Amino acid sequence: MSTGVEQDGADKAAARRLLAKIRTFVADQLSDDEAALFAALVAPGVARAYQDDGDVQGFASDVDWRPGALPDSLAEAVRDGGIRVEGLADD
């Protein structure tokens, strides 16, 4: 039986592994223009990681991201590709 502490440790380890893989992917697989688009795509999640719990979601003053920062070409490609994020809701 795993405890909450063990699960928290596993989640942290998985997060570190994921970020290491993302760094490698960006450095080794993406051109500069693709890396810039990838950054725009993941910016909301990164911004959320830095926002204070007291901030209203999407209005943290110390992050440099806003909804309009996603390039139109990337937004269109995401919509056309049917890409959706599911299972991350807070409820």
DSSP H or E stretch at residue 83: none
Give yes or no: residues 64 and 49 share one domain: yes
Give yes or no: residues 39 and 81 share one domain: yes
Quick: pLDDT tens for 6-55: 777 888 888 889 889 999 999 999 999 999 889 888 888 777 777 765 65
Range of the domain at 8: 1-30
Tell me how far apart the 2 most distant CA atoms of the chain are, in Å: 48
> CB 65: neighbour CB atoms within 10 A?
19
Total domains, the chain: 2
pLDDT at site 28: 96
Check residue 71 and give left, alpha or beta (phi > 0: left; psi -120 to 50: alpha): beta
Give yes or no: residues 19 and 36 share one domain: no
Quick: pLDDT tens for 55-89: 555 554 455 556 566 678 777 887 888 777 665 55
More confident call, 90 vs 52 = 52
What is the DSSP secondary-structure string of 41-80? HHHHHHHHHHS-TTSPTT--TT----GGGS-HHHHHHHHH
